Structure 1
C-alpha cells in the first residue's frame, strides 16, 4: 500500500480486524465492504499506516536535540530516531521531554450524522489531545495501548481542522513510569503507531468479543451503541474465501440495548493451531426491525480451545502442546518501537525458520498487525501487560487491561495473558482480564507460579530437572539468557532433553530474539546497546543470523533422528538404507512432509574445503503420527 507521504489516506474499513487484513493481503477493505449488508465503519488515516509508510506532521520537542525548533517529522515514529530529544535507557533519567505535534486534515462532509472517534493506536507516554483548540478529553496515560476520543462535536466536516497533541515522554503518574519507563529496555517518545478517524453510523456495533471453540460452538458478545429502536443483530460465519459456514443466525435487540449475544454451532470446522492456522470470519449486521441494515462489521477468528490441565500440561484442541519460543520486543535500530507488517513478517519468518512455534510479547502488547500475522502464519502468543518488576496502580492499570483485551481478544494465536513481568503485576488486576475475554484465557505472572503454571525464570540445570519432574505445569517465560549464557543456543540441547519430553513441561521462551542496538546519530551512527544492558539476542540488530540461530533450528526441529549414533557413527555394512525418525510435531503427520537425501564425498583432511554431491534423491514420506517413531526408507543407490 503506497501513498504520498504528504497526504492522509482515506479508506473504508469493517471492524477492528480489517485494517490488519488489508495489510496482510487477505482482502481489501473495499472487497470486505462489498460482501456486507449494511454501512461499514469508515476510517481516515491521519498518520501513515506504519513505519514504512509515513505522513509528515509539524513537530517540536521541548528538550534535547533540536529543542524548541518547529520542524517536520514522519508519523508514526519515535522522535529520537529522527534527530530530536535525548536517548534514554531504562531508569537512566533525563530532563523531561515533551513532543508537540500539529496536523491539519479535512474530514469528509459525507460523515454528517455519523459518530466520529479520534483513535490513537498508541502514544508514548502521556498524551494531551486538542481538536480545533478544544480538549478532546482526559490525558491518556500508558504508552502501548489504543485509546480514542469522541470528537463528533469538535469537527468541522468538509473543512480544514487542526489536531494538536502534546506527548510527554515521562508520565505524570509515577506507577506508569515504574511499569513502563524503568524497565531494562530503551525508552522512546512519540506517536509511534497510527492515528486515525473512525466514523460509525449513529446506531452501531461498537466492538465484538468472540469465543469459538474446537467443538464448533461459537459465541459473539456484541457491544452496541446508539440503538434507538428495536431491531436485530444478524451474523454469518464464513471461511476467508467467502464460503458460508452454516446459515445466518440472529438475536433481537430492544430499543436502548447496549449489547447482544449470538450463538451457533459449526459442524466440524477446520481448527486453528500454530501448525494448522485455519482462519474464519464472522459478518455481523445491526438491522432495524424491518430489516434495514444499519451497520456491519467483519471479525476474523479461529476455532480452537486452550486449556491448562492442572499438574498435566497445556492443551490446544484437546492435545498437549510444547511451546518453543523466544521473547520479542518491537524494535528496529533506526525506528525504535515504530514498526510495520514488513518487519513483523521478517521476525515471524525467522522464528518459524528456527522451528519456533511461540512468541512472548515482552513486555508490552505489540502492533495489531503483528498479531494478525501470528494468526495467519501460525505462532502461539503470550500477550503481556507492561510491568517490569514494578507495577501499574489499579486506577491507571484497569483501563489499560481493558484496552489490551478489547483490542486483542479475537486473536486465536493468543493462549495466555501476562499480567506484568518479574513482580511487575498488580494482583488487583488479575480478574480484569476475564471481564473482557469470554474465552477466559488463563492469566500468568511471569517468573512465578500462577494459574497452575510455573513460569520461573533462569533456573539452573538441576532445578530445571526438578521442576520438569514435579507436579506443576512448567513453562519458563524466560530461560537461557542470551548474554549471560554466551548465546541462546548454548546449553539448549541439555535443557531441552529435560524440558522437551517431560509430561508436565509445556516448553519455554528464550531470552531474547534480537540484539537491541540503537543507531545513534549523535555519535556518528554507531550501534549502541548501552554497554551490556540492552538485550543480547539470537539475531543481530538487523536480524543477522548468529550461531545460536542454527543451533536452535536443529534442536527444535520437529523431525529428529531417533538414534543419536546416526550423528557420529560409521554405518555398518548391514545398513538397510532406512533411518528411524521421531515426530515431535503436535498435530502434523510426517506423511505431509517432504524428505530428500544426498550422498556427499568430502576431501581428505588438509586437501582443501568443499565436497562433491555423488547422488541425491527424494524419499517417500512415512506415515508417522505426532509423537510417534517411524522409519524412513531412503532409497539409496546400491
Structure 2
C-alpha cells in the first residue's frame, strides 16, 4: 500500500513532466537529490499538495450548513472549516453527514503500458471512490491512513476523466467509530490529505522496508511486481550530498518474483539520533538480466539501533536516552486536521525551543511530511494506531496496521509503535506490526505495561515515585494533563526531578502540546 514519495517524478497540472521533485519535507535545502538511474515513478497531484496549497473540487454536503448545495471546496481540507456540515466533538456521532466530491483530470497519454494507482493519503472516514462512473474498489474504512486503488483499466489516458468520491463522516463499521470517532478529540469529515495518481513502469519496485543498524549493517526488503523475466535488483547507498557510502551491491531476481532482499555493510556510517539526525538514501534499480533499467526509486533512511533493555532503559546506538516529549494532535484552529509542512515545522520548532526531544502521535499516524521533518530536524517519535479506550476489530484493524507500518517503516525517528491508547488496543494486532517492520520495533500499549515498558497515565506524585522505583522501565505516554485546564506546567519541575532521578526512567510525554479549539 506504499508508493515511493521521496523522488517521484512529478507531473504538473498541465500534464508536463518537470524535474524530479521531492514531496514536501522530503529533502532539505542544500541536499542533493540523486536522479533515478532508470524509469521513475511519476505522480500527478489531483488535490493541492497540502492545506497551504489547495485545488478546488466540486462539493456537496448532505446535512448541516449548506446541505444539498453544490459548490466548490479547497482540497485537501476538512469541510466543517469551510462552512459546510456540522462541527462535532467526541462521541457525538452524526451518521447521515456525508460529503460528495467531483473532480475532472487528464492523465498523460504517455502512461500507456504502465500500472496506474489512485492514492489517497487519508480521508475521514469511509471513502467510496468511482472513476468514470465505475467503482475503483471496496469502500475504504479508517480515517487516518493511506490507501490506493489500481485504476489502470478505468483511466482514459490523454483525455478528461471524472473522479467521484463520497466520504461518510462516520463509518459503517462500528469498531472504526469506536476507535476513531468516540474519542476525546474533534471529529471532522473530508479529504483532508492529498490525493494523487501514481504511475509505475509495468515491472516495478512497489515498496521498500529498510533495516539499517548502528554497526553499519544494511538490509532492504523490497516488494516487487510485474517481473516477467529474470532480472537484477541493484542498490547504492549515499549520503544526502551524493557521497557514496559503499560500492553498489545487487541480487538476482527470478522471473515471477514478488520480493527480494539486498544487503551490505557500511564502515562506520554517520549515525542517526535526535541530536545528530544524519540521514542517508538508497538508490534502487530493477533491471533486466541484460542490464536494461525497468524502474528506479530512492528511499531515505538512517543508521541507528533501538533497544529496550528490560528493567534498565531505552537505548539508541548503545546509549541510554530519556524522552522529553509532548503529545501532538495534527490540528490548526482554522483548518482542523488539514495541515502543511509549514505548520508541521512550526510545531517541531516550538517543541525543540522548549528542549523537547520526542513527540507522541496522538492518536493516529500524522502526515508523512511531519515524520520527514522529525527525521531531518531530530525528534524521537511514537507512531500510533488509532484507538481511544476502544479498538478496531481485527478484520478492519489488520489492513490499517499494514497501511501504517508500510508507509512509515523507514523513518529513523520512530522508536515505537503504539497499538491504540488507554484500552483502545486490540491484542490480536500486536504481532501484525513486525510482519511489515524488519526492524521489529517494540509495540506499546499506552496506559499500561507492555513490551517491558510501564506507560501508565496521570500518576500522582506519590504513585510516580513508586513507579519510578519499580522494576519496569517507566515512561508515561501521558502525564500532567494540560489540555484546556492549563495545569500541566504547575507541577512539572517536581515530577521531572523525580523521574529524572530514577535509574529506569525513560522520560515521558506531557498532555498536550497545544489547546485544540476551532
TM-score scaled by length of structure 1: 0.78
Which residue of structure 2 lines up, in the alignment, with residue 19 of structure 1? 23
Question: Given the alignment of the two structures, is residue 395 of structure 1 paired with residue 395 of structure 2, yes or no?
Answer: yes
Check the 8 A contact 1:23/1:341 in 2, yes or no: no
Correspondence list, 1:517-536, <5 A:
517-518=517-518
Q: Which runs of 5+ in 2 are unaligned?
A: 1-11
User: Residue 503 of structure 1: CA displacement?
Assistant: 1.3
Check the 8 A contact 2:26/2:369 in 1, yes or no: no
Deviation string, structure 1 residues 197-231 (Cα, Å, up to 9, x no partner): 00000000000000000000000000000000001
How many correspondences in the alignment? Answer: 507
**Compared CA separation, residues 485 and 83, structure 1 to 2 (3 A):** closer
CA distance in structure 1 between the partners assigned to 2:390 and 2:274 by the alignment: 32
Which residue of structure 2 lines up, in the alignment, with residue 224 of structure 1? 224
Which residue of structure 2 lines up, in the alignment, with residue 60 of structure 1? 60
Which residue of structure 1 lines up, in the alignment, with residue 174 of structure 2? 174
487-496 vs 376-385, which moves further: 487-496
CA distance in structure 2 between the partners assigned to 1:510 and 1:278 by the alignment: 27
**Compared CA separation, residues 207 and 20, structure 1 to 2 (3 A):** farther
Correspondence list, 1:346-365, <5 A:
346-365=346-365
Which residue of structure 2 lines up, in the alignment, with residue 376 of structure 1? 376
Which residue of structure 1 lines up, in the alignment, with residue 428 of structure 2? 428
User: Residue 482 of structure 1: CA displacement?
Assistant: 0.7
CA distance in structure 2 between the partners assigned to 1:296 and 1:407 by the alignment: 18
User: Residue 36 of structure 1: CA displacement?
Assistant: 2.1
Question: Given the alignment of the two structures, is residue 320 of structure 1 paired with residue 320 of structure 2, yes or no?
Answer: yes
User: Residue 175 of structure 1: CA displacement?
Assistant: 0.2
Question: Given the alignment of the two structures, is residue 493 of structure 1 paired with residue 493 of structure 2, yes or no?
Answer: yes
User: Residue 141 of structure 1: CA displacement?
Assistant: 0.1
Which residue of structure 2 lines up, in the alignment, with residue 69 of structure 1? 69
Check the 8 A contact 2:31/2:241 in 1, yes or no: no
User: RCO (CA 8 Å, sep 6+): is it higher in 1 or 2?
Assistant: 2
Deviation string, structure 1 residues 544-589 (Cα, Å, up to 9, x no partner): xxxxxxxxxxxxxxxxxxxxxxxxxxxxxxxxxxxxxxxxxxxxxx
Which residue of structure 1 lines up, in the alignment, with residue 5 of structure 2? none
Check the 8 A contact 2:25/2:373 in 1, yes or no: no
Check the 8 A contact 1:10/1:45 in 2, yes or no: no
**Compared CA separation, residues 130 and 10, structure 1 to 2 (3 A):** farther
User: Residue 11 of structure 1: CA displacement?
Assistant: 6.0
User: Residue 365 of structure 1: CA displacement?
Assistant: 0.2
Instruction: Provide the aligned C-alpha RMSD in A.
Output: 1.6
**Compared CA separation, residues 445 and 501, structure 1 to 2 (3 A):** same
Which residue of structure 1 lines up, in the alignment, with residue 471 of structure 2? 471
User: Residue 492 of structure 1: CA displacement?
Assistant: 0.8
User: Residue 469 of structure 1: CA displacement?
Assistant: 1.0
**Compared CA separation, residues 165 and 484, structure 1 to 2 (3 A):** closer
Which residue of structure 1 lines up, in the alignment, with residue 8 of structure 2? none
**Compared CA separation, residues 73 and 201, structure 1 to 2 (3 A):** same
Corresponding residue SS for 2:179 = helix
Check the 8 A contact 2:115/2:152 in 1, yes or no: yes
Corresponding residue SS for 2:164 = strand
CA distance in structure 2 between the partners assigned to 1:376 and 1:385 by the alignment: 23
CA distance in structure 2 between the partners assigned to 1:493 and 1:187 by the alignment: 34
Check the 8 A contact 1:9/1:46 in 2, yes or no: no
Deviation string, structure 1 residues 348-382 (Cα, Å, up to 9, x no partner): 00000000000000000000000000000000000
**Compared CA separation, residues 345 and 310, structure 1 to 2 (3 A):** same
Check the 8 A contact 1:7/1:55 in 2, yes or no: no
Question: Given the alignment of the two structures, is residue 281 of structure 1 paired with residue 285 of structure 2, yes or no?
Answer: no
Deviation string, structure 1 residues 255-309 (Cα, Å, up to 9, x no partner): 0000000100000000000000000000000010011111001000000000100
CA distance in structure 2 between the partners assigned to 1:19 and 1:10 by the alignment: 17
Which residue of structure 2 lines up, in the alignment, with residue 530 of structure 1? none
Which residue of structure 2 lines up, in the alignment, with residue 291 of structure 1? 291
User: Residue 25 of structure 1: CA displacement?
Assistant: 4.3
User: Residue 92 of structure 1: CA displacement?
Assistant: 1.5
Check the 8 A contact 1:107/1:158 in 2, yes or no: yes
**Compared CA separation, residues 11 and 88, structure 1 to 2 (3 A):** farther
User: Residue 19 of structure 1: CA displacement?
Assistant: 1.5
Check the 8 A contact 1:175/1:392 in 2, yes or no: yes
Which residue of structure 2 lines up, in the alignment, with residue 560 of structure 1? none
Deviation string, structure 1 residues 378-423 (Cα, Å, up to 9, x no partner): 0000000000000000000000000000000000000000000000
CA distance in structure 1 between the partners assigned to 2:469 and 2:114 by the alignment: 60
Larger CA Rg, structure 1 vs 2: 1
Correspondence list, 1:191-206, <5 A:
191-206=191-206
Which residue of structure 2 lines up, in the alignment, with residue 335 of structure 1? 335
TM-score scaled by length of structure 2: 0.96
CA distance in structure 2 between the partners assigned to 1:82 and 1:23 by the alignment: 31
Correspondence list, 1:488-637, <5 A:
488-518=488-518
